[in-house]
């Protein structure tokens, strides 16, 4: 078992990538939205490391490396900078520091987001692994955080398309990160029977 797996409390890095929020032009809503959703969705207490940074590729890479290698986060969620504009470089920075890509997360997020906005196709968001840490890029619109993590529900709260967070607990378990669970009324996560504890 790795040092990260022995670290029993889930630690999540929350990175808001925004030129204007980081300059104080507007208040950052990325980190509060991420934190609020995670508090509603996770069954156990968790620790967070938060970073608000501009859309600078070197700064994003350095931040991700620090959160994985030094802060030992099990999971890192970024928000912002996934589009096609020149300064949108979060996916590029993520892949540059990653060991392996997890294409299913980006594919599923775009599928989910198309139920909300036609511009979903413009997000280059990726999922990737560095060491034993899963890194997921979410779009910058604050409302996109809940949409992509939780998925599409009907008026009665029945799930129509599963959010990507459904796959996160088993993924963290497989990469020897940590064993976590979600509240089914927010998001029902899945793992095979043989992997349940
Ligand atoms: N951290 C944030 N806090 C609040 N609103 C945000 C944040 N990031 C993005 N938004 C909103 O979502 C929109 C789309 O996000 P995007 O990541 O493309 O930002 P942007 O247009 O590149 O600007 P910036 O990087 O300065 O936030 C923004 O124009 C802004 O209205
Ligand atoms: N679920 C969801 N996905 C979304 C959006 C949204 O509002 N909700 N916004 C889209 C928009 S407008 C763009 S340009 C791309 C990239 O956004 P980003 O540069 O803010 O990361 O994500 C898209 N994906």
CATH class of 9-195: alpha beta
Give the percent of the chain with pLDDT over 70: 96
Looking at residue 140, what is its pLDDT? 98
Q: Residues lining ligand 1, judged by CB closer than 6 Å?
A: 16, 18-21, 26, 28-30, 55, 80-81, 83, 85, 140-142
Q: What is the mean pLDDT of residues 191-197?
A: 91
Pick from 96, 176, 194: which is nearest to 137 by CA? 96
2 pLDDT higher than 80: no
- What is the CA(82)–ligand 2 centre distance, in A? 8
Instruction: State phi, psi for 161 to the nearest 5 degrees.
Output: -135, 125
Model pTM score:
0.96
Closest ligand to residue 14's CA: 1
What digits encode the pLDDT tens for the residues 3-58?
A: 555 568 999 999 999 999 999 999 999 999 999 999 999 999 999 999 999 999 99
Distance 145 CA to ligand 2 centre (A): 10
Percent of the chain with pLDDT over 90: 93
Domain residue limits, the chain: 9-195
19: three-class secondary structure by DSSP = helix
Say how many Å lie between the CA of residue 53 and the centre of ligand 1.
12
Quote the ipTM score.
0.96
Q: What is the mean pLDDT of residues 64-68?
A: 98
- Please name which ligand lies nearest the alpha carbon of 109: 2
Mean pLDDT of 128-135: 97
For residues 190 and 172, the answer to whether their CB atoms sit within 8 Å is: no
Rg (CA), the chain: 16
Is residue 146 predicted with pLDDT exceeding 70? Answer: yes
Q: Specify the pLDDT at position 176.
A: 80
Task: Tell me the C-alpha distance between 158 and 176, whole Å.
Answer: 32
Q: What 3-state class would DSSP assign to 26?
A: coil
Check pLDDT > 70 for residue 119: yes
Ligand 2 mutation pick, 80, 89, 113, 142, max ligand atoms within 8 A of CB: 113
């Amino acid at each position: 078992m790795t040092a990260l797996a022995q670290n029993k409390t889930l630690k999540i890095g929350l990175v808001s990538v925004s030129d204007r929020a980081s300059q104080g032009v507007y208040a950052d809503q990325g980190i509060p939205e991420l934190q609020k959703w995670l508090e509603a969705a996770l069954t156990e207490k968790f620790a967070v490391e938060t970073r608000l940074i501009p859309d600078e590729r070197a700064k994003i890479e350095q931040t991700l490396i620090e959160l994985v290698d030094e802060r030992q986060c099990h999971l890192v969620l970024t928000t912002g900078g996934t589009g096609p504009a020149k300064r949108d470089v979060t996916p590029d920075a993520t892949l540059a520091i990653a060991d392996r890509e997890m294409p299913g997360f980006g594919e599923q997020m775009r599928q989910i987001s198309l139920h909300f906005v036609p511009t979903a196709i413009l997000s280059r968001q990726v999922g990737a692994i560095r060491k034993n840490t899963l890194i997921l890029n979410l779009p910058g619109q604050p409302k996109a955080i809940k949409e992509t993590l939780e998925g599409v529900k009907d008026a009665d709260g029945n799930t129509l398309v599963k959010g990507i967070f459904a796959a996160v607990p088993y993924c963290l378990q497989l990469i020897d990160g940590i064993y976590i669970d979600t509240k089914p009324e927010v998001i029902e996560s899945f793992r095979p029977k043989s992997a349940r504890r």
